[in-house]
Structure 1
């Protein structure tokens, strides 16, 4: 598989926290740096910088609905838009039937192993659950 082939990982994680409580952890640098990355910064152009293992990953929040969903579109190292760019979607959903909350994660990335993505997100969501008490 070549590096320009992307995988779309989609998973719903049950989470025991209100949308209002959860949303800041999905949409703010302070919230995201607690569970999603080593550090997150927001620059003056409203470009997020997610830092993993000392490396910068720039992203733009291209969509958000308060207490509902957030999309981060990843940019090139010089902060330009890429064709077929990787992105991450977070959607807070709740079951009408059971009143359960779910966090739906869509990770469209250059990762070439579904198993590795699964393990990564399982670990990230475990971190998030511990923080929000869910």
Structure 2
């Protein structure tokens, strides 16, 4: 079954290097994304209350992007990615979240979840 891909853009007033720390390190991700985060190399375990999800880092470039693939979705093309873009003229920083959902209805729910999560990130870093 094909998944629905979506992207969301969020302007954030922070430097790319600081943002990358919050998007790509276990300590940073624990601040806003999951209750606990453990990593062993490219294997990442995200923990929330009573649930645990494992992902692997499939691509990363410091201060620019990190792409995760959920282990449970190994048989499909889905992933989630954080990209940091800086406008060359205004120097405005934007985080672009790319994710997948099973259908349009799930995509709308996932978008709302990402909006809440990124608001938490902004609050955490004071942006």
Do these two structures clear the TM 0.5 threshold for a shared fold by scoring above it? Answer: yes
Match of 2:118 among 122, 125, 130: 125
Q: Is residue 2:95 matched to residue 1:103?
A: yes
Report the number of matched residues: 126
> Shift of residue 48 of structure 1?
0.3
Please state whether the residue corresponding to 1:37 is helix, strand or coil.
coil
CA contact (8 A) 1:87 1:107 kept: yes
Who is 2:56 aligned against? 60
Q: Determine the C-alpha separation between the residues in 1 that align with 2:77 and 2:56.
A: 11
Relative to total residues, which structure has the larger helix share, 1 or 2? 2
Question: Cα gap change, 1:85/1:75 in structure 2, threshold over 3 Å: closer, same or farther?
Answer: farther
RMSD: 1.7
Task: Provide Cα deviations, 1:23-71, integer angstroms capped at 9, x if missing partner.
Answer: 111111111111112221113x531001134211111111000011000
Task: Provide Cα deviations, 1:81-129, integer angstroms capped at 9, x if missing partner.
Answer: 7221531110000111221000000012446422211210110010100
Q: Is residue 2:43 matched to residue 1:47?
A: yes
Task: Give the gaps of 5 or more residues in structure 2.
Answer: none
After superposing on structure 2, the runs of 4+ consecutive aligned residues of structure 1 that deviate more than 3 Å are 109-112
The TM-score, its normalising length taken from structure 1, stands at 0.85
Q: Determine the C-alpha separation between the residues in 2 that align with 1:64 and 1:98.
A: 25
Who is 1:15 aligned against? 12
The TM-score, its normalising length taken from structure 2, stands at 0.89
CA contact (8 A) 1:89 1:105 kept: yes
Who is 2:66 aligned against? 70
